[in-house]
């Protein structure tokens, strides 16, 4: 179980870095950021799939259909919506709105085998919700700029939340049911499908919305764009998803739902370091409440819990 928690924490640290990219590259629209990143993911995954070609022959039509849905909803749509939210709201508020994932994933997957009864999670979930309320109060009570644009950013953040809630639950369920692929193989397959879906999206944009692929930027900014896209592909997609899948196979869904909050906390840390300032009072309260909820949840899922033992590997 400890290994599963460690894997989830490392995945969150990598995903937190990815959340900084739309803020660092505001002139690049979310469609372009997503398509280039995931085409690179597809190429990397295809190279990784070659040595395991024999094992991948076990891929069924049901596996392919699930992988395609996970690729489109959990990768492409999620990152497009999240990038659009970050560019309108900033890293901290967008990441903390999506940080409601511990609540939504736990509620969506509450009937899964191995799940701790929801009644026992009321306390931890209440702390996490309190943290989310603090950061959103900080964001919208002291917001500058166009309110309409910020509300649009909020809608994008909520759409990203919905995408990853569905992805987190369905991916975890299918990994537990599918015994013929390990977490690494599943990540590679998902990466290949994501790359193919990204190529289709680029072709559609080139034909009907070419302006989405056109950006006026200095050469140095383009260099940063390609480096950031490669970093997101290797670290934020392939490695982070491998770690997350490894965690999902070792932990009950109610616990993995709680641990996705590490992405939010690391994103906050990176944002504060980038801005060279500490958290405000409300931001500090949010961090304390969220961490308290996670630690409380970990205690409920501890070694003495028989349900946790049944899924420990």
Q: Is 292 left (phi over 0), alpha (psi -120 to 50) or beta?
A: alpha
Is the model's pLDDT at 60 over the cut of 60? yes
> What would you report as the CA-atom Rg of the chain, rounded to the nearest whole angstrom?
19
How high is the pLDDT of residue 149?
A: 84
**pLDDT tens digits, one per residue of 61-81:** 889 999 999 999 999 999 999
| Spatial CB neighbours of 5, under 8 Å, sequence gap ≥ 6 | 247, 251, 255, 259, 298
- 250: Cα within 13 Å, side-chain hemisphere: 19
For residue 90, the tally of other CB atoms under 10 A from its CB is: 18
Higher pLDDT, 187 or 306: 187
Q: Which residue has the tokens 């009072």?
A: 281
Residue 217: pLDDT band by 50, 70, 90 thresholds?
confident
Q: Which residue has the tokens 């996490």?
A: 128
| Spatial CB neighbours of 198, under 8 Å, sequence gap ≥ 6 | 34, 35, 37, 38, 39, 41, 42, 76
Is the model's pLDDT at 250 over the cut of 90? no
Tokens read off for 59:
């891929």
- 3: Cα within 13 Å, side-chain hemisphere: 7
How high is the pLDDT of residue 5?
A: 85
How high is the pLDDT of residue 11?
A: 92
What pTM does this model have?
Answer: 0.84
| Spatial CB neighbours of 67, under 8 Å, sequence gap ≥ 6 | 189, 190, 193
Give yes or no for a contact between 255 and 298, defined as CB atoms under 8 angstroms apart. yes
**pLDDT tens digits, one per residue of 130-162:** 887 887 777 677 666 677 788 899 899 999 999
- Measured CA to CA, the distance from residue 291 to residue 124 in angstroms comes to 9
Helix axes 101-108, 122-141, angle to 10 degrees: 140
């Amino acid at each position: 179980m400890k290994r599963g928690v460690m894997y989830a924490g490392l995945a969150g640290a990598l995903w937190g870095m990815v959340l900084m990219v739309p803020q660092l590259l505001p002139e690049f629209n979310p469609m372009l950021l997503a398509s280039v990143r995931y085409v690179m993911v597809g190429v990397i995954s295809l190279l990784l799939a070659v040595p395991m070609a024999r094992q991948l022959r076990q891929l069924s039509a049901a596996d392919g259909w699930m992988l395609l849905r996970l690729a489109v909803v959990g990768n492409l749509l999620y990152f497009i919506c999240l990038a659009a939210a970050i560019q309108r709201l900033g890293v901290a508020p967008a990441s903390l709105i999506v940080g409601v994932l511990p609540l939504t994933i736990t509620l969506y997957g509450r009937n899964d085998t191995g799940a701790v009864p929801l009644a026992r999670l009321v306390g931890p979930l209440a702390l996490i919700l309190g943290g989310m309320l603090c950061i959103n109060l900080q964001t919208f009570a002291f917001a500058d700029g166009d309110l309409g644009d910020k509300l649009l950013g909020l809608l994008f953040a909520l759409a990203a939340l919905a995408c990853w809630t569905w992805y987190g639950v369905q991916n975890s369920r299918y990994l537990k049911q599918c015994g013929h692929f390990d977490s690494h193989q599943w990540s590679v397959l998902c990466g290949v499908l994501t790359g193919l879906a990204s190529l289709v999206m680029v072709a559609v944009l080139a034909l009907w919305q070419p302006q989405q692929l056109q950006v006026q930027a200095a050469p140095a900014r383009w260099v940063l764009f390609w480096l950031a896209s490669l970093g997101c592909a290797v670290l934020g997609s392939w490695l982070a998803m491998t770690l997350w899948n490894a965690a999902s196979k070792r932990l009950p869904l109610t616990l993995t739902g709680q641990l996705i909050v590490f992405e939010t906390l690391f994103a906050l840390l990176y944002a504060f370091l980038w801005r060279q300032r500490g958290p405000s009072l409300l931001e500090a309260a949010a961090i304390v409440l969220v961490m308290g909820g996670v630690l409380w949840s970990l205690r409920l899922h501890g070694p003495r819990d028989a349900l946790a033992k049944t899924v420990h590997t």
